[in-house]
Amino acid sequence: MSHPVSAHHPHAVQAHLGSSPERRRWAALVLVCLAQFMLILDVTVVNVALPSMSADLHLDRETLTWVVTAYTLCFGGLMLLGGRLADALGARRTVLAGLAVFTLASLVTGLSTNGSMLIVGRVAQGIGAALLSPAALSIVTTTFHGAERNKALGVWAALGGIGSAAGVILGGAITAGPGWEWVFFVNVPVGVVVLVALPFAVSASAQPARRGRIDLPGALLVTGATAALIYGLVKAGDVGWGGTATLVALVAALVLYAGFAIVEGRVRAPLMDVRMLSRRPVLAGAFLMLVASALLIGFFFLGSVYLQHARGYTALGTGLMFLPVAVATGIGAHVGSRLVGRTGSRPIAAAGLALAAVGSWLLTGLSAEAGVWAVLVPGFAVAAAGLGAVFVAATTSALGYISHQEAGLASGLIRRPALRPAWSTPSTRSAGRSASPSSPPSQPAVSRPARSPASAPPSL
């Protein structure tokens, strides 16, 4: 008889995971993927809940935008530091620290009573995510080898698309049910379970700390640069690309990024070894991850806003509409992980991008007369299947050329979504405009009468 898993009985947890090294490896993969799934989920789950947040907390458009951006900004801006800490302090220790911060921040965010508290909670969530994500991927890359590594990375890569789609689905179900607060509360029990079980699946000796100085100036520069970039793109939605605030922020971002590159070339223990980018597979993997993530997140943001505000779908209906997309992403990632060991990353990436282009072309046929199931869902699903394969190609391409000592930093570089929120900022602005109630704040934006198909925009 198997023992029940309980936070109060550590030996029961250990017995459930087993002592077999192979079983512990796969248990570790399940646990770190579950933690990563929460992080990706929180990028899109909030978007569906924005109208309800706006109504309950009386949030204006600018605040709604920063509810989304604050999380992705901190997640991306601190990702390199998180990867460096994973190498210096040990991946297991960094994962547990990041998960504890993220779980506590989720509880605080769900308890928010005003916009300021909500944004502070989202900032804390982003900090925890930046610590957790690169360290978790480091555990995956150093635990598995050969064909098993490709399979494990395929599972990990699929989380990007599946988590984004699941965020829309879960956000719709929760908003229509217990309320937007549970968008954040749902992370708490999951986080506690992973915190209890992970130490039994990943031993401290398997993920040792490597002493070294932390490049704080570099961390401050790259975080400041990312913040300036995101702020500039957000202001561009208000005052245009030629506005003073936009130009000042974008110039500041360029200066800070240049300063970061100079500092990294001079310090003894850089936050990021810029020579890593001279390896073509690493650079190509990072670029592919950026492009695929930008496309997928943009699709989800715009698709969610379009369905709710142009077609009159409820939050739950919008979420269910993206269920085929989640399945398609998983299928694309699975097929990519099975083929990448035979063909290499380049053909998989090319085929995936071609499939994404076909899906995008199908979406151009969306109009007031075209049915959502006839155009939007098929086009989105085809594109998502291609992007799922691209995620696998990007991850295996980059991480196949790094040593165990560089695993945390390389994971931070590849997973770093610092520019992904920048690419999706116009979508976020659209979400903010649609969610911000033009009627009295007590009336949720989603409760307004749906437009007739004739009044819907002709296309995305």
Tell me how far apart the alpha carbons of residues 61 and 93 are, in angstroms, rounded to a whole number: 39
Query: Does the pLDDT of residue 48 top 90, yes or no?
Result: no
Report the mean per-residue pLDDT for the chain: 77
Q: Domain range spanning residue 419? A: 14-214+271-428
Q: Are residues 109 and 228 in the same domain?
A: no
**What is the total count of domains within the chain?**
2
Q: Are residues 256 and 276 in the same domain?
A: no
The confidence score (pLDDT) of residue 110 equals 92
CA nearest neighbour of 377 among 323, 455, 331: 323
Question: Phi/psi at 9 (nearest 5 deg)?
Answer: -130, 85
Q: Report yes or no on 458 lying in a domain.
A: no
Query: Does the pLDDT of residue 77 top 60, yes or no?
Result: yes
Q: Is 154 exposed, middle or buried (0-12, 13-18, 19+ CB in 10 A)?
A: buried
Q: Are residues 402 and 312 in the same domain?
A: yes
Range of weakest confidence among 16-25, 186-195, 376-385, 436-445: 436-445
| DSSP per-residue letters across 333-364 | HHHHHHHHHHH-HHHHHHHHHHHHHHHHHHHT
Q: Are residues 400 and 278 in the same domain?
A: yes
Q: Are residues 117 and 254 in the same domain?
A: no
Query: Does the pLDDT of residue 185 top 80, yes or no?
Result: yes
Range of weakest confidence among 188-192, 373-377, 455-459: 455-459
Q: Report yes or no on 131 lying in a domain.
A: yes
- Exposure on the CB side of residue 37, measured as CA atoms within 13 A: 19
The confidence score (pLDDT) of residue 88 equals 79
Q: Specify whether the backbone of 344 is left (phi greater than 0), alpha (psi in -120 to 50) or beta.
A: left
Unique residue bearing structure tokens 């947040």: 53
Cβ–Cβ under 8 Å, residues 83 and 408: yes
Q: Specify whether the backbone of 174 is left (phi greater than 0), alpha (psi in -120 to 50) or beta.
A: alpha
- Exposure on the CB side of residue 203, measured as CA atoms within 13 A: 8
Q: Report yes or no on 438 lying in a domain.
A: no
The confidence score (pLDDT) of residue 7 equals 47
pLDDT in tens, 276-316: 666 777 777 778 887 887 787 778 777 877 887 788 887 67
Token readout for 444 is 């949720």
The confidence score (pLDDT) of residue 431 equals 47
Per-residue burial over 205-243, b if 16 or more Cβ lie within 10 Å, else e, is ebbebeeeeebebbbbbbbbbbbbbbbbbbbbbeeeeee
Mean pLDDT of 48-69: 84
Q: Report yes or no on 457 lying in a domain.
A: no
Q: Are residues 337 and 418 in the same domain?
A: yes
Query: Does the pLDDT of residue 435 top 90, yes or no?
Result: no
Mean pLDDT of 49-61: 85
| DSSP per-residue letters across 225-284 | HHHHHHHHHHHHHHH-TTSHHHHHHHHHHHHHHHHHHHHHHHSSS-SS-GGGGGSHHHHH
Mean pLDDT of 246-253: 92
Query: Does the pLDDT of residue 268 top 70, yes or no?
Result: yes
The confidence score (pLDDT) of residue 455 equals 33
CATH of the domain at 324: 1.20.1250.20
Query: Regarding predicted confidence, which is higher, 376 or 6?
Result: 376
Q: Are residues 340 and 308 in the same domain?
A: yes
Cβ–Cβ under 8 Å, residues 40 and 157: no
The confidence score (pLDDT) of residue 210 equals 59
Query: Regarding predicted confidence, which is higher, 437 or 381?
Result: 381
- Give 351's pLDDT tier (boundaries 50, 70, 90): very high
Query: Regarding predicted confidence, which is higher, 357 or 7?
Result: 357
The confidence score (pLDDT) of residue 99 equals 95
- Give 196's pLDDT tier (boundaries 50, 70, 90): very high
Q: Are residues 304 and 375 in the same domain?
A: yes
Q: Report yes or no on 1 lying in a domain.
A: no
pTM above 0.75, yes or no: no
Q: Report yes or no on 9 lying in a domain.
A: no
Q: Are residues 220 and 324 in the same domain?
A: no
Instruction: Specify which residues 9 forms β-bridges with.
Output: 6
Q: Report yes or no on 116 lying in a domain.
A: yes
Query: Does the pLDDT of residue 329 top 80, yes or no?
Result: yes
Query: Regarding predicted confidence, which is higher, 111 or 201?
Result: 111
The confidence score (pLDDT) of residue 254 equals 93
The confidence score (pLDDT) of residue 50 equals 83
Cβ–Cβ under 8 Å, residues 56 and 180: yes
Query: Regarding predicted confidence, which is higher, 210 or 127?
Result: 127
pLDDT in tens, 122-157: 999 999 998 998 888 888 888 887 778 777 877 877
Q: Report yes or no on 266 lying in a domain.
A: yes
Tell me how far apart the alpha carbons of residues 371 and 90 are, in angstroms, rounded to a whole number: 52
From the CB of residue 53, how many other CB atoms can be counted at a distance below 10 Å? 24
The confidence score (pLDDT) of residue 356 equals 93
Mean pLDDT of 318-341: 83
Cβ–Cβ under 8 Å, residues 356 and 288: no
The confidence score (pLDDT) of residue 182 equals 92
Q: Are residues 34 and 56 in the same domain?
A: yes
The confidence score (pLDDT) of residue 278 equals 66
Range of weakest confidence among 104-113, 159-168, 333-342, 415-424: 415-424
Q: Are residues 152 and 256 in the same domain?
A: no
The confidence score (pLDDT) of residue 423 equals 42
Amino acid at 450: A
Q: Are residues 197 and 239 in the same domain?
A: no
The confidence score (pLDDT) of residue 266 equals 81
The percent of residues in the chain predicted with pLDDT above 70, rounded, is 77
